[in-house]
Homo-oligomer: A and B are copies of this chain.
Amino acid sequence: MTIADAESTAAQIPTQSTYQHRVADYWNAEENPVNLELGKIDDLYHHHYGIGEVDWSVLDTGPEGAPEPPSRADHRRARITAELHRLEQAQADLLATRLGPLTPEDRVFDAGCGRGGGSVVAHLRHGCFADGVTISGKQADFATEQARKRRIDHKVRYHHRNMLDTGFPTGAYAASWNNESTMYVELELLFAEHARLLRRGGRYVTITGCYNDAYGRASREVSLINAHYICDIHPRSEYFRAMARNRLVPVHVQDLTAAAMPYWDLRKQAEHLVTGIEETFLAAYANGSFQYLLIVADRV
């Protein structure tokens, strides 16, 4: 069965839970500047955070004492926007480099693709086919339009589907990933679907926030993040338990928490982009209850 066949026979997204409808509604309605403004820069729309050191000069407000002229404030805001986008792009790149050696004939699966940036990044780097899946019809349409504009829609496609039940053919993918999208689903079901889709020896990558079982149960900050995004952040242990049950074997695990904090430090000062959750993220990282994790695993 080709992917196209699968597409034509899988007419619609399967019956969803109330929760899934609510998540879809959220993302259909979402128009945060932190996602849209950053994406406009180079038409790479991400729905994740960023990593790496910040160039703090973007905050410079000019000579002390002098009022900042409006044009300069605009310029400063533009630089902050660009800097945040650079950090998000760094994260997308880090993930893409971990997908392993891929050929233009290989196919990759982007689970929870949002407005599609990650699939484009992977395609640009490896030349591979990409299938992105999102529960938001609006996101799928947006991403598809982007691919068309770039004239890569013959290789990069987006689908309005449930990532737990894609209908894609078994063993057809060389690599797959979740970039900050695992907290909306049960990991057991998610990894079962990745394991089904990946060929033997295929590569799975996730970057995700998880709560830290060494700290204990979910902290207040973690719950506030859950409430903000209507998500349900998993404990770190759950990732490894669910992978172990689904033939996904880690080969590289990296704690990105320290690398993730500068992004939030900058973002909280970007008054044109803040969503209000910035301090909570910083507090959660700082008290040890929350971690930003990269996991790279092989399908065996």
A255 vs B237: C-alpha distance when bound (angstroms):
20
- Decide yes or no: A223 and B213 within 8 Å by CB, A200-B17, A253-B253 being known contacts: no
Copies of this chain, whole number:
6
In contact, B236 and A249 (Cβ under 8 angstroms): yes
Contact size range, A: 35 or more
Instruction: Tell me what chain A mostly uses at the interface: helix, strand, loop, or mixed.
Output: mixed
A199 vs B252: C-alpha distance when bound (angstroms):
26
Q: Is A243 interfacial (CB 8 A cutoff)? A: yes
- In the bound complex, residues from chain B placing their C-beta under 8 Å from that of A252 are 253-255
Mark A140-171 against chain B: 1 for CB-CB distance below 8 A, else 0: 00000000000000000000000000000001
- In the bound complex, residues from chain B placing their C-beta under 8 Å from that of A299 are 214
Q: Is A10 interfacial (CB 8 A cutoff)? A: no
- Write the residues of chain A forming the contact surface with B, with a CB cutoff of 8 angstroms: 14-20, 22, 171, 184-186, 199-201, 212-220, 223-224, 226-227, 230-232, 236-237, 240-241, 243-244, 247, 249-255, 287-289, 291, 298-300
Pull 30 A–B residue pairs with CB atoms less than 8 Å apart, ordered by A: A17-B200, A17-B201, A17-B215, A18-B215, A18-B287, A18-B288, A18-B289, A19-B215, A22-B219, A185-B217, A212-B298, A213-B298, A214-B249, A214-B251, A217-B232, A218-B226, A219-B230, A220-B226, A220-B227, A223-B224, A223-B230, A224-B227, A236-B251, A237-B300, A240-B250, A241-B244, A244-B244, A251-B291, A252-B254, A253-B253
